[in-house]
Chains A and B, each alone.
Chain A
Amino acid sequence: MSARDNILGRIRKAQGRSGTEPTAAELAQVRADIARRAPGPIPAIGRASDLQRQFTHACDRVGTSHGEVASLEDVPAEARRYLDANALEPRLVGWHELAGLDWTSAGIALEDRPARGSDRASVTTCFCAIAETGTLLLLSSPATPKATALLPETHVCVASKSRLVPNMEAAFALLRAERGEPPRATWFVSGPSRTADIEQTLVIGAHGPYRVHVILVP
């Protein structure tokens, strides 16, 4: 008998069932339970009527700064303002979908490639943003490498207000509707990387970005 059979067999025996494999009926029942995708109770902060207000409020709490622009074309200027305000070099490595914007006029050198360990700042988009917790949901794909959002010290993220969702349940519903399944890397970012492992003292910037800045576009 394989380890798998032994483990499943022990579970089944402990629950008064025989064999080493769930029956077709048992599997069907479990799949039906999964298919219901019954959500749990959602608290008031996850049911906000003013999504943008709840989102920016939650961003403030997790340490994500935010700006808002009137159109996607204004993103480079806002990015420049943010980089200058933090005394950062006007240099970004970014996801391909943003490469078409006019970065040069804003005085930013944008490189359309995945980030390397030496890159200081990056710009990405996100799949959607969650108002309840000020969270950005990012998905990996050939055009959206995860390293770009992870390795640099500064991460600028463009989020569309039309893709603000009230809670994580709504984000998953959107993911299923548009992508079917989660891609290889599906990750939620709520503020800059942090640690409190030395004397429970909070320090920003453990392994991921020190700064996360969201630019809200229509």
Chain B
Amino acid sequence: MQVQSMFFKRTASEKLNDALLQRNMANLKSKFVDGRARAITEIEDWEEIRTHAAALRDRTIANLDAYLVEFERNATRRGARVHWAQTAADACRIAVEIAQANGVRKVTKSKSMVSEEVNLNERLEEAGIQVVETDLGEYILQLAQEPPSHIVAPAIHKSKEQVADLFEAAHHKPRSTDIPALTQEAREALREHFLTADMGISGANFVIAETGTTLTVTNEGNADMVTTVPRIHCVITGIEKVIPTLEDFATLIRLLPRSAIGQGIANYLTLTTGVKGEGDLDGPEQTHVILVDAGRTRLVGSDMQAMLRCIRCGACMNHCPVYQNVGGHAYGWVYPGPMGSVLTPVYVGIENAGDLPNAATFCGECQVVCPVKIPLPDLMRKLREQQFETKQRPFGERLALNAWAFMARRPRLYAAFTRIASRIGAWMGGRDKLIHSLPGIDGWTKGRDMPAPAGKTFRELYRERRPSPQPSRKGEGA
């Protein structure tokens, strides 16, 4: 996917004024936020499991090379072929080569965010290979020729009327806006593709070092089709997805669907290991696993390393007040929300990420709901610092921050300045105590009024109200 993150500010304002999007995003809170809150109460010690999961992810990342080699050894022993891709282009080249070497004409795909990252569909289509997305949300977006706007619910920004229009054009059947009927229509259209595809491409939620297994978590069962019916199965996944054992999967799966959509368990947990066995009646003759770096090794050993724990549940975006209002497309790349505001700068370059590290209120909710305890606000703060230090923020902003830093180190000057500023602010607030415009820094007041300061600084008020330790000195500071 082309990076558009530098246009965040502009796109975000467009999205805020998009009435249809605003209506479509309204489901997010009731379904995902409330759903998660309910689902985690089923587990008496959610925190204990989060802590264990964060530690197991950290332990694996600390020995990432050895776990990957162990995964490779076991997957190879079971008959899979493991490929290593340093870049997005390499990952696509490998997949296209596998397809071409086997005369593949049609590919069915289950949802893979890594494939979105590397633009795999485009590269396959350029090579003359038909690609069919089979996750209902991804299928809708393929028809709409749009990128996903959420990592779990990719078409969350679409209304049923919009889906009905797309299906009418693609399926040439009478238009229906009935959601079960639309789902049935997609099932029928996709069933044919499932049964006739030469190659299935899936992502992997995790890969297991112990057994050489790759696995997907779905509710639709589309990954089961994609990994069972075609004669070739190709997995494309990031190198950080490796976990040590099946037991570790058992721990993580208690967290993933609950955090993602408030479901105690996903309908299908699909573990695939090696190739079709002797005498097996279904399953692929060839299995390929493409392990993709594409920026991930840059996080290893860095102060952003905790981001590699991410299990792609989407809870951070579901709970983010910024995401809830602007939706996923405003973020301009594959990963939206707080996790995207961290991953995009790291994967595609901080110079291409524009305002993403600032697309946060720092309310901290993302860190609270993260099943593997990624300190997302801290990571965004570090990226802000990097942007500031490398002069990637606008001159005016840097000047203002430098001026503030100068004063903040000089308490008397700071006190004097804030005393004057709070009085001016109070005067500007007028009778309704709201500042309607701030010349020069109108970003604060363009979309809303700014509450005026009280006219006195905190320190002044503190001194006035503090009970004096010695009554004789009362009133001295007034």
On whether the beta carbons of B90 and A3 are closer than 8 Å, the reply is yes
Partner of B65, one of A11, A43, A117, A135: A11
> Interface size of A by Cβ–Cβ distance < 8 Å?
77
CB of B243 to closest CB in A, whole Å = 10
| Size bracket of the B interface | 35 or more
On whether the beta carbons of B273 and A181 are closer than 8 Å, the reply is yes
Residue of A nearest to B191 (CB): A117
Please tell me which stretch of A19-27, A72-80, A85-93, A102-110 contacts chain B, meaning at least 4 of its Cβ atoms lie within 8 angstroms of it: A19-27
Residue of B nearest to A41 (CB): B48
Q: Which residues 15-50 of A sit at the B interface, judged by CB distance below 8 A?
A: 15-17, 21-22, 26-27, 29-31, 33-34, 37-41, 43-45
CB of A94 closer than 8 Å to a CB of B: no
List chain B residues, Cβ under 8 A from A178: none
Most buried by A among B59, B225, B228: B228
Q: Which residues 17-31 of B sit at the A interface, judged by CB distance below 8 A?
A: 24, 27-28, 31
A97 to B48, CA, bound (A): 42
A2 to B293, CA, bound (A): 13
Partner of B213, one of A3, A15, A169, A182: A182
On whether the beta carbons of A114 and B282 are closer than 8 Å, the reply is yes
CB of A217 closer than 8 Å to a CB of B: no
Partner of B281, one of A145, A193, A196, A208: A145
Known: A182-B271, A184-B283. A150 touches B225 (CB 8 A): yes
On whether the beta carbons of B245 and A37 are closer than 8 Å, the reply is yes
CB of A12 to closest CB in B, whole Å = 6
List chain A residues, Cβ under 8 A from B53: 40
Q: Which residues 120-142 of B sit at the A interface, judged by CB distance below 8 A?
A: 134-137, 140
A17 to B272, CA, bound (A): 33
CB of A177 closer than 8 Å to a CB of B: no
List chain A residues, Cβ under 8 A from B64: 11, 15
Q: Which residues 185-215 of B sit at the A interface, judged by CB distance below 8 A?
A: 186-187, 190-191, 194-195, 209-211, 213
CB of B69 closer than 8 Å to a CB of A: yes
A186 to B271, CA, bound (A): 5
Residue of A nearest to B250 (CB): A168
A167 to B302, CA, bound (A): 37
On whether the beta carbons of B272 and A184 are closer than 8 Å, the reply is yes
List chain A residues, Cβ under 8 A from B49: 40-41, 43
List chain B residues, Cβ under 8 A from A185: 227-228, 270-272, 283
A22 to B209, CA, bound (A): 14
On whether the beta carbons of B209 and A199 are closer than 8 Å, the reply is no
A198 to B62, CA, bound (A): 40
Partner of B45, one of A11, A39, A43, A117: A43
CB of A180 to closest CB in B, whole Å = 10
CB of A141 closer than 8 Å to a CB of B: yes
On whether the beta carbons of A193 and B277 are closer than 8 Å, the reply is no
Partner of B219, one of A33, A193, A209: A193
List chain A residues, Cβ under 8 A from B244: 30, 33-34
On whether the beta carbons of B136 and A181 are closer than 8 Å, the reply is no
CB of B416 closer than 8 Å to a CB of A: no
CB of B48 to closest CB in A, whole Å = 5
CB of A183 closer than 8 Å to a CB of B: yes
Known: A7-B297, A29-B63. A199 touches B84 (CB 8 A): no
Partner of B267, one of A167, A190, A198: A190
CB of B413 closer than 8 Å to a CB of A: no
On whether the beta carbons of B283 and A207 are closer than 8 Å, the reply is no
CB of A84 to closest CB in B, whole Å = 24
CB of B85 closer than 8 Å to a CB of A: yes
On whether the beta carbons of B156 and A200 are closer than 8 Å, the reply is yes
On whether the beta carbons of A45 and B86 are closer than 8 Å, the reply is no
Residue of B nearest to A8 (CB): B65
Known: A30-B70, A145-B281, A190-B267. A203 touches B180 (CB 8 A): yes
CB of A98 closer than 8 Å to a CB of B: no
On whether the beta carbons of A205 and B52 are closer than 8 Å, the reply is no
Please tell me which stretch of B157-165, B355-363, B373-381 contacts chain A, meaning at least 4 of its Cβ atoms lie within 8 angstroms of it: B157-165
Residue of A nearest to B47 (CB): A41
Partner of A187, one of B153, B194, B271: B271
Most buried by A among B24, B27, B134, B244: B244
CB of A119 to closest CB in B, whole Å = 12
On whether the beta carbons of B300 and A14 are closer than 8 Å, the reply is yes
On whether the beta carbons of B261 and A196 are closer than 8 Å, the reply is yes
Partner of B270, one of A6, A27, A187: A187
CB of B179 closer than 8 Å to a CB of A: yes
A58 to B267, CA, bound (A): 12
On whether the beta carbons of B301 and A14 are closer than 8 Å, the reply is yes
* In the complex, per-residue mask of A130-159: 1 if CB is within 8 Å of any chain B CB, else 0: 000111000011100111001000000000
On whether the beta carbons of B224 and A208 are closer than 8 Å, the reply is yes
CB of A13 to closest CB in B, whole Å = 8
On whether the beta carbons of B195 and A117 are closer than 8 Å, the reply is yes
A2 to B273, CA, bound (A): 25
On whether the beta carbons of A40 and B63 are closer than 8 Å, the reply is no
A62 to B263, CA, bound (A): 9
A38-B247, A175-B246 are known; give 11 further A-B pairs, CB within 8 A. A3-B85, A11-B297, A14-B302, A145-B280, A184-B272, A185-B227, A187-B268, A188-B270, A193-B221, A196-B261, A197-B155
CB-defined A-B contacts under 8 Å, sample of 18: A11-B65, A22-B66, A27-B70, A30-B244, A39-B247, A39-B250, A43-B44, A62-B264, A117-B195, A146-B282, A185-B228, A185-B272, A190-B266, A194-B219, A198-B182, A206-B221, A207-B222, A208-B225
